[in-house]
Homo-oligomer: A and B are copies of this chain.
Amino acid sequence: MSEKLPGYKGKALETLLKIKAEVGDLVRVKKERVTYEGILIPRSELGDDKHIVIKIKSGYNIGIKVTSKTVIEKIGTMTKPSFKPPPPPEQKPNLPRVTIISTGGTIASRVDYRTGAVRPAISANDLYSIVPELSDIAAIDTEILFSVFSEDLTPKHWAETAKAVAKYIANGAQGVVITHGTDTMGYTAAALSFALQNLPVPVVLVGAQRSEDRPSSDAATNLIGAVIAAAQAPLAEVVVAMHETVSDEAIVLHRGTKVRKLHTSRRDAFKTVNANPVARVLDRKLVMLTDEYKPRSAGKKLVLKPDFNEKVALVKFYPGMNPNLIEWHIEAGYKGLILEGTGLGHVRRECFAAIKKAIDKGIIVAMTSQCIWGRVNMNVYTNGRDLTAMGVIPLEDMLAETALVKLMWILGQTSDMEKAKKLLTTNISGEISARSVEPIPPPKTLAPNDRGA
C-alpha cells in the first residue's frame, strides 16, 4: 500500500502509481465508450484490488474496474481550499442562547479529500464560517458529542444525547439543536421525545441529505431553519427540521414521534405520518401549523428519563415467515416484541402458537402495520380478533419505529409489566393521534409530498 494511495492494492495500485496519481488528484478514466472525471478518493481496507474510486462532480463516489483496456490520466492536482475559519463574527446582544450538539452524519461533515475521512465541522467558529447567518439568529454554543454514522447509533447513544440536552438546558440554553445522520434520525427523535419529559424549550434534530461541500447541499438551509426553530418556536417538544419540498423554500418541523425518513436521497425525505407537521420556517420566519403543542416556558423543570432496554425487537412479518423467528426472540431473553404486521394488524395463523408462548412467558407483544399510514384495527377480521384475545396489544396509528423505541424506553423505566402495557397504549408524546368520529379517518397527509397545511 502506498501512503499517498491509501487502500489501493494490486492492479489498481499499479495503474495509479504508473501515472503518479495520488488521492486528491483529479483524474480522467476512459473505459470503452464512457469517460469519467473526478477526484481520486481512498479505498476501504476491505476493498478489492481491481477498482478505483472517484468522487464525481455530483458528489457521488463511483467505483470503476481497472482492466487492461482502462486508460487513466491525471488531469489536475486538486488542492482543496484549506479549511481556515474566519474570525468569529461579533456576537450580537440579546439573542437567544442556542446549543448545537453534534452527533455526526452528513450535516456535520466535510469530506477531507486527502484522507477520505469525514471531518466534523462543528466548532462554533467553523459553523459561523459555513453559515454566517447564524450569528443574526442566536448566540451559539457547540459540542461534538459523537461523530458517528447514524446507523451505528444505539439506545446507549440516545441516553447520552438526552443527558447532554438536559445539561445544556440546565446551563440556560433557550433551545437545543442536534445535528444527526438522517438514516436513523427518526428513531432518535422518538427516543428523545420520551426521554426528555416536561421540556421547557424546543429540541430540534436536523440533518442533511447531501453534505455541505456539494453544490446541491441542504445542510445550511436546514441548519438555519433548525436554529430559528430552537431560538424562537413557542413549542417545547422534540421535533425534526428538514426541507419541506425539493426546493429550498421552506423548512418544516415534524413531531419527533410521528416522523419517518421516506426517501433514500431527496431533500424532502422526512414526512410526518398520520398527523400534520407542527410548524414551518419560511423566509426565516417560523409559523405554527397547529395550536396543539406543549408550550415553551422557562418555568418548567425538565424531567430526564434516559434509560432504554435493548431487549425489545422489531419483527416485520412477511408471507411464509418462520414462527421459529419469534421463538428465537423468546430464547434470547427479549422482553418486548413489536410486530410489523400486514394491513389492519395481522400475521399468519402459523405464528399464533409462538406468539402465545411469548405472551405466556411475560413478553409484551404489540402490533403495528407495515402499511405505515393508517391505524391498526384488530377487531375487523378473525385473525386480528384472535391475536388480541391472546394478548397482542394493538398500537393504534403509531409508527412501527416509534413503537419499538417507546417499548424500549418503557422497559427502561419499569419492570412492572402491567404498568408497561398501560404506558404503551397511553399517548405520552404525540405518538398516538386521537381517533376521530369516523372509525378510521382518512389522514390528511397520506401524501408525503403534501404541504400538510
Q: Which residues of A contact B (CB under 8 A)?
A: 43-44, 46-48, 53, 56, 58, 60-63, 149-155, 158, 181-184, 187-188, 246, 261-266, 268-269, 310, 313-314, 316-322, 324-325, 328, 332, 340-350, 369-377, 379-383, 385-386, 389-390, 401, 404, 408, 438-440, 442, 446-450
A374 contact from B183, B266, B313, B386, Cβ within 8 A:
B266
A151 lies within 8 A of B347 (CB): yes
Q: A154-B319, A269-B374 are in contact. Are A379 and B63 (CB under 8 A)?
A: yes
Q: A47-B389, A379-B60, A442-B246 are in contact. Are A265 and B344 (CB under 8 A)?
A: yes
The distance in angstroms between the C-alpha atoms of A382 and B158, with both chains bound, is 22
Minimum Cβ distance to chain B for residue A244 (Å): 13
A374 lies within 8 A of B47 (CB): no
Across-interface contacts of A310 in B (CB, < 8 A): 320
Across-interface contacts of A60 in B (CB, < 8 A): 377, 379-380, 439-440
B374 lies within 8 A of A263 (CB): yes
The distance in angstroms between the C-alpha atoms of A155 and B317, with both chains bound, is 14
Residue of A154, A261, A268 with most partner-chain B CB within 10 A: A261
Minimum Cβ distance to chain B for residue A115 (Å): 12
B63 lies within 8 A of A404 (CB): no
The distance in angstroms between the C-alpha atoms of A183 and B317, with both chains bound, is 11
Q: A154-B320, A310-B320 are in contact. Are A373 and B263 (CB under 8 A)?
A: yes
Across-interface contacts of A328 in B (CB, < 8 A): 325, 328
Across-interface contacts of A381 in B (CB, < 8 A): 149
The distance in angstroms between the C-alpha atoms of A268 and B443, with both chains bound, is 12
A386 lies within 8 A of B262 (CB): no
Minimum Cβ distance to chain B for residue A359 (Å): 12
A447 contact from B182, B265, B382, B450, Cβ within 8 A:
B450
The distance in angstroms between the C-alpha atoms of A450 and B347, with both chains bound, is 30
A341 lies within 8 A of B383 (CB): no
Across-interface contacts of A386 in B (CB, < 8 A): 44, 46
Residue of B nearest to A340 (CB): B316
Across-interface contacts of A332 in B (CB, < 8 A): 322, 324
A343 contact from B151, B349, B369, Cβ within 8 A:
B151
Across-interface contacts of A43 in B (CB, < 8 A): 385
A379 lies within 8 A of B264 (CB): no
B155 lies within 8 A of A376 (CB): no
B439 lies within 8 A of A264 (CB): no
Further pairs besides A46-B389, A151-B343: 8, Cβ < 8 Å: A58-B438, A61-B380, A184-B342, A262-B373, A264-B374, A266-B373, A313-B318, A314-B318
A261 lies within 8 A of B449 (CB): no
Across-interface contacts of A440 in B (CB, < 8 A): 60, 264-265
The distance in angstroms between the C-alpha atoms of A207 and B62, with both chains bound, is 43
Across-interface contacts of A314 in B (CB, < 8 A): 316, 318
Residue of B nearest to A116 (CB): B382
The distance in angstroms between the C-alpha atoms of A440 and B47, with both chains bound, is 24
Across-interface contacts of A374 in B (CB, < 8 A): 263-266, 269
7 A–B contacts from the bound complex (CB under 8 Å): A48-B389, A58-B438, A60-B377, A149-B381, A263-B374, A265-B374, A446-B448
A383 contact from B62, B152, B320, Cβ within 8 A:
B152
Minimum Cβ distance to chain B for residue A185 (Å): 10
The distance in angstroms between the C-alpha atoms of A313 and B318, with both chains bound, is 8
Residue of A44, A321, A350, A375 with most partner-chain B CB within 10 A: A44
The distance in angstroms between the C-alpha atoms of A91 and B357, with both chains bound, is 55
A319 contact from B184, B340, B377, Cβ within 8 A:
B184
The distance in angstroms between the C-alpha atoms of A340 and B183, with both chains bound, is 12
The 10 A-B pairs with the shortest beta carbon distances in the complex, nearest first, are A264-B374, A447-B449, A183-B342, A183-B343, A447-B447, A46-B389, A151-B346, A316-B316, A265-B440, A154-B320
The distance in angstroms between the C-alpha atoms of A322 and B450, with both chains bound, is 36
A446 contact from B266, B343, B385, Cβ within 8 A:
B266
Across-interface contacts of A322 in B (CB, < 8 A): 313, 332
